[in-house]
Structure 1
Amino acid sequence: MQRKLDLRGGQPVWKSYRAPSVPAQKLTQDAKTDVLIAGMGISGAMIADALAAQGHDVLMIDRRGPLLGSTSATTALVQYEIDTPLSHLIGKIGKQNAERAWRRSRLAVANLQSHIEQADLRCRMTSRPSLYLAGNVLGAGALQEEAVTRRAAGLGAHYLAPADLRESFGIIRRGAILSGNNLALDPRMLTSGLLLRSMQKKARLYSPVEAMKIEHSADGVSVSTKNGPIIRAKHLVLATGYELMDGVPAKGHSVISTWAIATRAQPRNIWPQEALIWEASDPYLYARATYDGRIICGGEDEPFTDEETRDALIEKKSARIAQKLGKLFPDIDPTPEFKWAGAFGTTESGLPKIGQIPRKPRIFAVMGYGGNGITFSRIASELIASTLDGKTDIDADLFALTA
């Protein structure tokens, strides 16, 4: 059984932009496949695209339908910088592993950009630098040390003193790290493109289909659905986002609520280079511009309690986010035209949990994304594709699930 959550509330800005529709069939009889993927959001779409391209017979199910989960709630700052600063991650998992995780995240963003370009996936992707502003987690001195730590790991990081930050970006803060080669894109357009590309390679999509019972054996997986049909697969990938299926280890995984706004289009007021903005704070503010000059800004994160409480806070949280945005950029009109709430999973280290479920090697789970959901979805697609191709991904141990 799946732990059902209403993954978003309010009105996400992405609903105002058109994305190609993705057709899904009704499941009326039993089915067989090489790989069954549960979830038709950004994670499932990336995995389906990768596996179908390898020649696997792919079947996807979703209890709602394509793009109807948390994908529309993301603000889509596609960064390689992990929520946990490199200097802090070293203290959690060791220097070598922390540097590997950050490098793999950077590689994932580069690979995603390359794939989008080569496959001509039209999702309004643009390359953007990012600004990591001093805050209550890393002050000016700690931020300088973080920049040194990143450079020593082979990761580009340029520290901006307050005067340089103000002159270059018009931001008044105690300092910032400037990094390059991150992405801004439309998450619904990307997900639609990936799903349609998978279908061109014979992937089959069925919805609404709800998995009720999973049976695992040495040679396959059997999934009973709510309406009766049974799906038998050699492998099962659970890409259900933050609605974990029973049997998936939840140790160290928690769900967080977040809120976001989008302003009117005001392209003349956007800050230089349209840099992705985020803070070295807990909770942190984050902001980006859309292709037509809206500002998306989010934050005010807190532990998830229930959907009603989260959604009841949309007005209050939106007002607070708008106030912070206006303070950061006085020339911007921070008045929200769109306001919404969402949920995301996180782990103690800030790294995702991706891989085979202990003692059930034919079932993969993809969970715990933090603020790097799209980046980590790319890593998940690479890890799972390697495993099903009979290869060992050199970084699989960093993200492995534990009982």
Structure 2
Amino acid sequence: MTLKAGYPFWLVKDGLPFTFPKLDHDVETDVVILGAGISGALVRYHLIEAGIQCTTVDARTIGLGSTSASTSLLQYEIDVPLYKLTDMIGKEKAERSYQLCSEAIDKIGELAKKVGIEYFERKKSLYYAAYKKDVSWLKKEFEARKAAGFDVIWLDADAVKKQYDFECFGAILSEQGAQTNAYMLAHCLLQHNVKGVENCIFDRSPVVDIKHSKNGVVLATETGYTIKAKKIVYATGYEVVNFIDKKIVDLLSTYAIVSEQYNERPFWHDEVLLWNTADPYLYIRTTPDNRVLVGGRDEDFRDPVRRDKLLKRKTKQLTNDINRLFPNLDFKPEFSWTGTFGSTKDGLPYIGEYSKLPNSYFALGFGGNGITFSLIAAEMIRDLILDKDNKDVPLFSFDR
């Protein structure tokens, strides 16, 4: 599956920071991780930290799938608002899902500090009403988050205008949020090693066959080599539709643009993460090198040809969106891209075991905050492999 097109900013900016070999021999390992994007990198980090021998294999050059196209906002909010999720799965489960995402932001920050990665910035988040009709339910969402213990403030239209200098109908200001560079974060995590734990990483090694049994799994690559493992972790993101025999996700297309570099930083107050209540929603962030990133204008299809043909038009639309919001910004796009992403019925990821494929675990962080979901998946899968109790596993199971 072609997951992206155009010129993802992170890939242009950072290039190929590290290289990895193709698989050119047979391998036996305790755990094989299929996929080396941000999900696979986080899973690998947690497994080797726990002393688990693992091998990572990817069909592409590392990071060139969805990870390089990520806009890398880190938010505790799930695509389904908390008050709606409460109606769907109950108050306790809904709040716990949001709390896990909030904790994941903190853990990613701690992880970045621990391994000396600079690709993490704490940011507040402003969720604003794009239309007057959205104010009533957005206030309901504010009350639900406040009741769940989140540090949030309601701002009316005048307060938003005064503090952030743009027009809307009201907003929720959240203290918790952050931004990263998922492409470089993944690459840097893949450099992390623990003495005494054997682990290998191979890219450009497509797997063409996987056999599951009660004793383990055997993977065959297109060049004829095999990987034998006791367990397999599927961290293949949106390509998971090739392995699951039931519909769990709708694949959609999204678009993103990045401005030319500004000499100064004439941006909004605190450079908070911005996103709105429109459907599809608009989301905006800054970058460390004086740029503004804008994403949205999603389409309900995944066909790469149809998706890519719209890139020029979507670039113009997103440019108009940001310039209407901040006329003084004079946003001029320099890079634009499009990619595939997934949406689930409840906005939650699928994490854990899949009974029809013995000895398998899945780390499928679908949705707008897939990076935080990937951190949650890494911890859960580590616990499952170690037979440790994790009370949150049922929240994201295939049987929910």
- Maintained 8 Å contact 1:11/1:338: yes
Q: 1:65 to 1:78 in 2, by over 3 A?
A: same
Give, in whole Å, the separation in 2 of the partners of 1:249 and 1:76: 30
1:238-257 matches, within 5 Å, as: 238-244=234-240, 246-257=242-253
353, 372, 376: which is aligned to 2:373? Answer: 376
Deviations 1:162-194 (A, max 9, x none): 111111111210000000121111222211110
Structure 1 Cα separation of the partners of residues 376 and 397 of structure 2: 12
Cα distance in 2, alignment partners of residues 324 and 171 from structure 1: 12
In 1, distance between residues paired with 2:229 and 2:333? 46
Summarize the Cα distance change of 1:101–1:235 in structure 2 as closer, same or farther, 3 Å threshold.
Answer: same
Other structure's SS at 2:124 match? strand
1:4-403 paired onto structure 2 within 5 Å: 5-18=1-14, 21-123=17-119, 125-135=120-130, 139-198=134-193, 202-244=198-240, 246-266=242-262, 267-402=264-399
Equivalents in 1 of 2:177, 2:258: separation in Å?
Answer: 20
> Aligned pairs, how many?
398
| DSSP-derived class of the 2:97 partner | helix
Structure-2 separation of matches of 1:245 and 1:395: 24
In 2, the alpha carbon distance for the partners of 1:116 and 1:382 equals: 16
Q: SS of 1:320's equivalent? A: helix
Distance in 2, Cα, partners of 1:26 & 1:13: 26
Deviation at 1:27, TM superposition (A): 1.7
Task: Provide the C-alpha distance between the structure 1 equivalents of 2:68 and 2:284, rounded to a whole number of angstroms.
Answer: 16
> What is the distance in 1 between the residues matched to 2:26 and 2:110?
38
Within 2, Cα distance between the matches of 1:9 and 1:360? 32
Residue type of the partner of 1:9?
A
Q: TM-score, normalised by structure 1?
A: 0.95
Per-residue deviation, residues 26-64 of structure 1 (Å, max 9, x unmatched): 222221001101111000000001101111111011111
**Which amino acid in 1 is paired with 2:289?**
D
Structure-2 separation of matches of 1:138 and 1:353: 32
Identity of aligned residues (%): 36
1:262 Cα shift? 0.3
Compared with structure 1, are the counterparts of its residues 162 and 245 closer, same or farther at alpha carbon in structure 2 (3 Å cutoff)? closer
Q: Flag the 1:37–1:178 CA change in 2: closer, same or farther, 3 A.
A: same
Question: 2: CA distance between counterparts of 1:64 and 1:82?
Answer: 29
Equivalent residues of 1:210, 1:225 under 8 A apart: yes
Does the 8 Å CA contact 2:363/2:378 hold for their aligned counterparts? no
Name stretches of at least 5 consecutive residues in structure 2 with no aligned partner: none
Look up the equivalent residue of 1:135 and give its one-letter code. Answer: A
CA–CA distance in 2 between the matches of 1:226 and 1:23? 20
Give the CA deviation at 1:311. 0.8
The alpha-carbon distance between structure 1 residues 228 and 203, as it changes in their structure 2 partners (threshold 3 A), is same
Q: Tell me the distance in 1 between the aligned counterparts of 2:200 and 2:6.
A: 31
> Helix, strand or coil for the counterpart of 2:343?
strand
Q: Quote how far apart the aligned CAs of 1:115 are.
A: 1.2
CA contact (8 A) 1:22 1:195 kept: no
Question: Deviation at 1:138?
Answer: 7.0
Indicate the larger mover: 361-370 or 7-16: 361-370
TM-score, with normalisation over the residues of structure 2? 0.96
Q: Note closer, same or farther for the CA distance 1:209–1:280 as it changes in structure 2 (3 Å cut).
A: same
Q: CA deviation at 1:365?
A: 1.6
Q: 1: distance between equivalents of 2:22 and 2:248?
A: 36
Structure 1: runs of 5 or more not aligned? none
